[in-house]
Amino acid sequence: MVGAFRIGRIFGIEISVHWSWAIIFVLVTWTFASGILGELFPEWTSSQRWLVGALISLVFFTSILFHELSHSLVARRYGIPVSSITLFVFGGVSNLTKEPERPGQEFWIAIVGPLTSFLFAGLFGIGYVMLRSVEEGVAGVALNLAAINTAIGVFNLVPGFPLDGGRVLRSIFWARKHSILEATRTASRVGEFVAYLMMGAGGVLFFFVDPISGIWFFLIGNFLRSASAASYEQLFVETVLKGVPASAVARQDYTPISPDMTLIELLEEHVLAGHGRCFPIMAGEELLGLVTLSDMRKAPRGDWPTTTVYRVMTPAASIKSVGLRDQLPQVLVLMAENDINQVPLMEGRWLRGMIHRGDVIRYIQVRQELGTGAPAR
Ligand SMILES: [Zn+2]
């Protein structure tokens, strides 16, 4: 994640903190130093209150870290390694290296986080009860930490994917419908609905109750909305497109061009005739290179009657291509990273088809509209 700093490693999992976490740190410290601690310990100096406020922030930070670690440790028990945990303004993100294989695994990986937060809330609550009559101030701090942990647990149980509650919901849909993709789509729709509710509530709070809480609700709702849409897209690419060979979208109706054709012949016989904008230069079945309109512009117009396509083509060796074993996600990555609109499908040096960006996009749209989980063969 951009803007995150590595702070250490626990159980072999890399722990990072996003800069936005500093906002929460200051907010929690300030809340305690300026308000709560002043009431609990009226005799304290301001620096004592700020110091203890910062210490309480660290305890708060640790409870969120334990919440995230609990997800990671359960995931690891199911054989899903976790590479890193990033803590940021709205909580934490555990980077699972792959999606759970069964709904039961997903359920336990998700639910253990809020359970851990409630466990911490319970422990601080016990601390409060035990200290109440002995040391009122410390007991008061424990009570506040119990409340904070309860809030973390409850917030994460909001049934909006990708929050923990949304994952629990997805695991239930998944168990019933037997399709993780369909379950994710339903869960992310619920997530979007919840997100709009939160944004709407934020608007109402902003105008009628408390502007600051209103802004928070709106921001969290907006975050949830974009996160739930993104996680569906990502899973769609991973599950549906992963099984689809690149050849499924490759066209066979390309126009092979002989290397000794001149540019003027290419222009008149093929470009102006509407046979496309990118032509494979071939010797038999072997691909020698590609000629696009921008390749043609390399030669001055006056030279077009005498210049062969072979002279201006981009040679096969410097063309990005995919093989028969490649799948759609690789094609998408290749097109995106190199900003290209067509990729030849190769078997060694032989051309087996041409893949166009437009065809890939159409394919994805149709699959999304059908919404089925089984890859097309
Ligand atoms: Zn969680």
Ligand 1 centroid, distance to 143 Cα (angstroms): 22
Ligand 1 centroid, distance to 86 Cα (angstroms): 12
Whether the per-residue pLDDT at 265 is higher than 90: the answer is: yes
Range among 1-10, 159-168, 178-187, 244-253 rated most confident:
244-253
Concatenated DSSP letters for 206-217?
HHHT-HHHHHHH
CA geometry: angle at 58 spanning 13 and 114, to 5°?
60
Ligand 1 centroid, distance to 178 Cα (angstroms): 24
Whether the per-residue pLDDT at 372 is higher than 60: the answer is: no
Per-residue burial over 338-358, b if 16 or more Cβ lie within 10 Å, else e, is eeeebbbbbeeeebbbbbbbe
Q: pLDDT category, 2, cuts 50, 70, 90?
A: low
Rounded CA separation 253/275 (Å): 10
For the chain, first and last CA: distance in Å?
35
Ligand 1 centroid, distance to 131 Cα (angstroms): 30
**What's the pLDDT tens digit per position in 191-248?**
889 889 989 999 999 899 888 778 878 888 888 888 777 777 777 777 777 778 888 8
Ligand 1 centroid, distance to 58 Cα (angstroms): 18
Res 376: pLDDT: 35
Res 288: pLDDT: 94
Ligand 1 centroid, distance to 6 Cα (angstroms): 20
Res 90: pLDDT: 59
Percent of the chain with pLDDT over 70: 94
Res 91: pLDDT: 64
Res 364: pLDDT: 79
**What's the pLDDT tens digit per position in 81-137?**
887 888 876 566 666 667 788 889 989 999 999 999 999 999 999 999 998 888 877
pTM over 0.75? The answer is no
Whether the per-residue pLDDT at 374 is higher than 50: the answer is: no
Ligand 1 centroid, distance to 53 Cα (angstroms): 25
State the helix-helix crossing angle for 328-338 and 357-370, rounded to 10 degrees. 130
Whether the per-residue pLDDT at 377 is higher than 60: the answer is: no
Ligand 1 centroid, distance to 134 Cα (angstroms): 34
Ligand 1 centroid, distance to 275 Cα (angstroms): 54
Whether the per-residue pLDDT at 155 is higher than 90: the answer is: no
Rounded CA separation 235/227 (Å): 12
| 261 class by beta-carbon count within 10 Å (0-12 exposed, 13-18 middle, 19+ buried) | middle
Ligand 1 centroid, distance to 68 Cα (angstroms): 6
Ligand 1 centroid, distance to 171 Cα (angstroms): 15
**What's the pLDDT tens digit per position in 307-317?**
999 999 999 98
Ligand 1 centroid, distance to 215 Cα (angstroms): 23
Ligand 1 centroid, distance to 211 Cα (angstroms): 27
Task: Tell me the average pLDDT across 282-311.
Answer: 92
Average pLDDT, the chain: 85
Lowest model confidence (mean pLDDT) among 50-64, 117-131, 177-191: 177-191
Ligand 1 centroid, distance to 65 Cα (angstroms): 10
Pairing of strands 13-18, 82-88: parallel
